[in-house]
Amino acid sequence: MAKNITSPEKDFSRWYLDVIREAELSDPAPVRGCMVIRPYGYSIWELMKDDLDRRFKETGHSNAYFPLFIPESFLKKEADHVEGFSPELAIVTHAGGKELEEPLVVRPTSETIINHMFSKWINSYRDLPMLLNQWANVVRWELRPRPFLRTTEFLWQEGHTAHASEEDARQETMRMLEVYTDFMHDMAAIPVIPGRKTEKEKFAGAVATYTIESMMGNGWALQGGTSHYLGTNFAKAFDTRFLDSENQRQFVHQTSWGVTTRLVGAVIMVHGDEHGLKLPPMLAPVQVVIVPIARKEEEKPAVTEAADRIAKQLKDTGIRVLVDHRDGMSPGFKFNHWEVRGVPLRLELGPRDLAEGHVMASPRNKPGREGKFTIPMEGIAGAVNSILTDIQSEMLASALEFRNTHTYDIETYDEFKQLLPGQPGFYRVWWDGDGEDEARIQEETKATVRCIPLEQRPGSGTCFLTGRKTSTTAIIARAY
């Protein structure tokens, strides 16, 4: 265990903050609730952003940008929306040395300003579908901040689309949920449960909200991303209509969907361990670090030249590789430095390795001597690519196994209350409750209904809380 990192079993919250500090991912900002994302942390977000952006464009979406400031009157046009966001709003009342005629809201989300523009841009069915995405920052005043997971200002993408029919809009809602699911699986090595939010938990102003829920290393849930079917709620508020093929004016049907920098927090909490960060290769800014080891001055040139040659071979195949040439630092210091930062694969190269024509490999997901093995220098680029692929798959399998072993089927609320404090995880229950029932669960246990999974258990049963017969299952857990 790294000496400056608390054991996650002892104090998971402290461990999380320790990893962020030691891996140099972010620092607190002078404004409470905000954070400074350091270069290494931002590099992880950039890899997420680049991959998601590619997926969005492959599904026909174009990027745009909308203002940070939104007239307060815009939010008031959709009653549920403004009610849902009121406690979180930051509002500008003075600018340029004088009081503004109308206060400006600092963007909490962009449905209103985008609908204002949609109403100008959309005139005919030929203008549909309109598929836009925005990469931006948003502000939601946070009373209990936690870096990456909940901050007053955070980075995100928000997709906004307009369609001629409910069917098309609902298909878009589910298509983007699937994009998020695939991203989490393929890139973050995090298994998720796609599902529908309850009426109590859905997005303010949406007809239906869908989510991807993942399990963190302490058994708590984290909402990874959401996709909303907005119906015609915002279209009616902003008179966003179009002429259909029969020359009749119709309201557009809309969606919005987004993920945020909290995904960086998810990667930390799903994969990290007592040694620090553990990054899946697809999201690692440095996938391979090479540490040359030469204890005698006369050994350095040959070892250094070999390390640089290997690095070039790896780089030529697209691997993100770094050679740690720093002087005045022991190999052990360098090993720990990159282990804490979660580099998926470390290659060690000394005079004996050079003479024997191999390098010593140490995968981050198998720490300790038992995880080490040698790789022949001949054909090393292909071998390392294969190893990185294996590490990615192994990390996904490990996260899935952890989730499965911490998912429990229970029948009664009394059983749930008894088990949850000492056994955090996902509790799969038969469910036929309402908002009041959810409020009771949250008040008494601090757990929430995370989602109604899209993949339902066959058959029917008795709601664990109300005792009513139902064919619906839900996932309940403590959550961030």
Name the residue among 288, 154, 276 with its Cα closest to residue 217. 276
Quote the tokens at residue 350: 């000394």
pLDDT value for 79: 66
Report d(CA 31, CA 453) in Å as an integer.
38
Amino acid letter, 430 = W
Let me know: does 389 contact 184? Beta carbons within 8 Å: no
Tell me how far the alpha carbon of residue 298 is from its chain's centroid: 48
Q: Is the dihedral of CA 231, 232, 238, 239 positive or negative?
A: positive
DSSP 8-state class, residue 273? B
For residue 109, CA distances in Å to 113, 121, 205, 257 come to: 9, 20, 12, 11
In degrees rounded to 5, what are phi and psi of residue 436?
Answer: -65, -40
For residue 201, what are the contacts with CB-CB under 8 A and spacing of at least 6? 209, 438, 448, 449
In degrees rounded to 5, what are phi and psi of residue 73?
Answer: -65, -25
Quote the tokens at residue 352: 């004996």
State the pTM of this model: 0.96
For residue 67, CA distances in Å to 70, 162, 233, 337, 465 come to: 7, 19, 22, 41, 46
In degrees rounded to 5, what are phi and psi of residue 321?
Answer: -125, 145
In degrees rounded to 5, what are phi and psi of residue 457?
Answer: -70, 135
DSSP-H helix ranges across 221-329: 233-238, 262-271, 300-316
Q: CATH fold of 407-477, please?
A: Translation Initiation Factor IF3 (3.30.110)
- Among the CATH numbers 2.40.50.100, 3.30.930.10, 3.30.2270.10, 3.40.50.1970, which is that of 12-271? 3.30.930.10
Report d(CA 403, CA 426) in Å as an integer.
8
Q: How many CB atoms lie within 10 A of CB 188?
A: 29
Name the residue among 226, 300, 223 with its Cα closest to residue 263. 223
Let me know: does 250 contact 244? Beta carbons within 8 Å: yes
Let me know: does 251 contact 237? Beta carbons within 8 Å: no
Name the residue among 241, 207, 278, 375 with its Cα closest to residue 44. 278
Report d(CA 258, CA 443) in Å as an integer.
28
- Specify the CATH superfamily of domain 286-393: Anticodon-binding domain (3.40.50.800)
pLDDT value for 295: 87
For residue 239, what are the contacts with CB-CB under 8 A and spacing of at least 6? 119
The neighbouring-strand residues paired with 157 are 135, 259
Measured CA angle at 191 (ends 197, 18), to 5 deg: 95
The domain segmentation of the chain, as residue ranges, is: 12-271, 286-393, 407-477
249: left (phi over 0), alpha (psi -120 to 50) or beta: beta
Let me know: does 259 contact 159? Beta carbons within 8 Å: no
Mean pLDDT per 10-residue segment, the chain (480 residues): 88 98 97 96 98 98 97 83 76 96 95 95 98 97 93 97 98 98 98 97 94 98 98 94 96 98 98 97 98 92 96 98 95 96 98 96 92 96 98 98 98 98 98 97 98 96 98 98
For residue 189, CA distances in Å to 58, 157, 257, 272 come to: 21, 20, 21, 12
